[in-house]
Amino acid sequence: MASSTVMCRASQRVLATCCCTPVAHVRHIGLKRAAMAPKDQKSFRSHGASTMVSRQVHAVTAMATGSDAGLKIDLRGKKAFIAGIADDQGFGWAIAKALAEAGAEISIGVWVPALKIFETSFRRGKFDESRKLSDGSMMDFTHIYPMDAVFDTVDDVPEDIATNKRYAGNEGWTVSEVADKVKADIGNVDIVVHSLANGPEVTKPLLETSRKGYLAAMSASSYSLVSMVQRFGPLMNPGGAVVSLTYLASERIIPGYGGGMSSAKAALESDTKVLAFEAGRKYGVRVNTISAGPLGSRAAKAIGFIDDMIAYSYENAPVQKELAAAEVGSVAAFLCSPLASAVTAHVMYVDNGLNAMGLAVDSKTLDRAE
């Protein structure tokens, strides 16, 4: 097997999830919210969130497998390529699993330096529990390709990367080369998923971000989508779908989500709309992006305070529960299905409604004397 995910160097990898300032405890804000003792609140968060998430996962599984009556997401016979899977914890894996539940054939691109670890873990069964589908079978990948979406062609690869031992033993991992492999191995595809982001200076405020760091974030996190649509668009069947992942920092100030990543997400969303028009007219495909809420994936934890952001979202979102990766996967499956045939150029929020809030309801500035 060959594999590769375009997330950046391990310590610098950044999923399109989030960063935010620390969160305060629940406070009375004059809205007469039901008061909870810290212990009861913690219990509610763990039990309530898990119950709601399990219901969501069951509903998605039912739609995909047809175990319940109603509208079905049926992707049998469809072929999907997903760029940006390095383990079984992030949104990329969740999207792959949702597509597999719906019957799609999945191939993936894994960042070259992460390929060996991913393949070893996959082969040794470390992902087996996560691979289980509702019908008892195991999700599998038709092809696993090494990939680094920062480079469009082999001519773009600098000498220090070409000779880097982390890339040794792998060939044909630029975007154009992977697209050529997919065409030769699979033929046309119906679904392309961009689950890639990296900001080497993400922990730096924008005022301290270097030009190199800023452009690196733009290259890995936004232009990579443009490059993929350029190369994979000609391989896509009419009616196909492209889906990427973005984050609320594209339009709101999220202190701590630095290094040009907020700009990269803004560019990604703008490019989604332009690509929806251009690729829609040229290839007959749809292009959408999912603005996902915070998830404690391995990549997101490299940011430093993802747990604070999850807590902040829980306290302030209209739906008070933690986000599950499977919920993002289910929305991606919908966007890739015929049920969303009229949906394109759209930013789909999957964040428990946090994007709609204009006030942090747990802010201590809202405390009122009894």
The full DSSP string for 227-291 is HHHHHHGGGEEEEEEEEEEE-GGGTS--TT-TTTHHHHHHHHHHHHHHHHHHHHHHH--EEEEEE
- Residue 305 confidence (pLDDT): 80
Which residue among 167, 247, 312, 314 is the active-site one?
247
Q: Which residues of the chain have pLDDT under 70?
A: 1-69, 301-302, 370
User: Which is it for the CA torsion 145, 149, 155, 160, positive or negative?
Assistant: negative
Q: Which residue has the tokens 């350029």?
A: 230
Q: Exactly one of 145, 214, 257, 312 is catalytic; which is it?
A: 257
Query: What's the whole-model pTM score?
Result: 0.83
Identify the pLDDT of residue 317: 98
pLDDT on residue 64 = 54
Return the residue matching tokens 């991913």.
118
- Answer yes or no: 314 catalytic: no
**pLDDT digits 0-9 by tens, 176-186:** 999 999 999 99
pLDDT at 302: 64
**In the 8-state DSSP scheme, what is residue 359?**
S
User: Has 312 been annotated as catalytic?
Assistant: no
